[in-house]
Structure 1
Amino acid sequence: MASLVTALRAAASGMEAQSTRLRHLSENIANADTPGYQRKTVSFAEMAQGTVATGPVMLDRSPLQSVYDPGNPLSDDSGHYDGSNVDLVIELADAREAQRSYEANLKLFDQARQMTQSLFDLIRR
């Protein structure tokens, strides 16, 4: 019984971690055109009994994209301003990976829940 509870905890923590990751990915996508925006990344840390937790949110230190728009009030003398360092292709690929990982954890959670329910049904007989 303890191993089923451990599996439920591990799957739930995985879903929570991927949910946090998806939230930051969606923030990155929403701010892709915001001048000076730096992409946010989330790291994962293994905790006790196979559970996962998110680490601190970090800013991507890659250089900001230089955008040429002489009519923009943020432009310098050469007509350029700093855009964001968000690459939509990378964000969408990361979002797909996070979604699939969330779904895998959800299936694991559901399987452990069903096994627990079956165990309780056997005990009641």
Structure 2
Amino acid sequence: MESFFGSMITSAHGMVAQSTRLRVTSENIANVDTPGYTRKIVTFEQLATDEGTEIVTTGPITFGKEEHARIRDPAHPLADPDGTYMGSNVDLMVEIADAREAQRTYEANLRMFDQARQMASSFLDLLRT
């Protein structure tokens, strides 16, 4: 019975981590056209619990090292004397791929959680009979 709950705890932590990843990816997508915006990246850490199971948590949010795009627009209020300004370093295709991966991983954790819940319920039903 303990392994069922351990599986559910592991899956729940995975869902929390992937929802954080999806939130940060959504922020990146929302700021793709914001001048000077730096892409955020979620890191993950693996922790061992007292029960002997291992869970995943989010680590510190880091910033992308990619170069910011230089955009030429002399009429822009942030333009320097050369008529350029610094755009964001967010690649929309990378963010969409990250969001899709986070969504699928979240769904996999949800299916695992539901499967463990059903198995625990079936086990309890067997004990009652």
TM class by shorter-chain length?
over 0.9
| Partner of residue 80 from structure 2, selected from 76, 83, 86 | 76
Q: Aligned-pair distance for 1:87?
A: 0.3
Structure 1 residue 66 and structure 2 residue 70: aligned? yes
Letter in 2 for 1:67: I
> 1:1-125 counterparts in 2 under 5 A?
1-48=1-48, 49-125=53-129
Per-residue CA deviations over 1:59-109 (Å, capped at 9, x if unaligned) read 112211101111001001111000000000000001001111001000000
Q: Distance in 2 between matches of 1:13 and 1:121?
A: 27
CA RMSD of aligned residues (A): 0.6
**Poorly superposed stretches of 4+, deviation over 3 Å:** none
Separation of aligned partners in 2, 1:82 and 1:47: 39
SS of the aligned residue for 1:47 comes to: strand
Secondary structure of 2:103's aligned partner: helix
State how far apart, in whole Å, the 1-side matches of 2:94 and 2:66 are. 14
Gaps of 5+ in 1: none
Figure out how many residues of one structure are paired with residues of the other and give that number: 125
Structure with greater proportional helix content: 1
Distance 1:87 1:58 in 2: 16
2:85 is paired with a residue of what secondary structure?
strand
SS state of the match for residue 55, structure 1?
strand
> Quick one: which amino acid aligns to residue 55 of structure 1?
G
Instruction: With the length of structure 1 as denominator, give the TM-score of the two structures.
Output: 0.98
Secondary structure of the structure 2 residue equivalent to 1:27: helix
* Identical residues among aligned pairs (%): 56
* Alignment partners' CA distance in 2, 1:26 and 1:41: 11
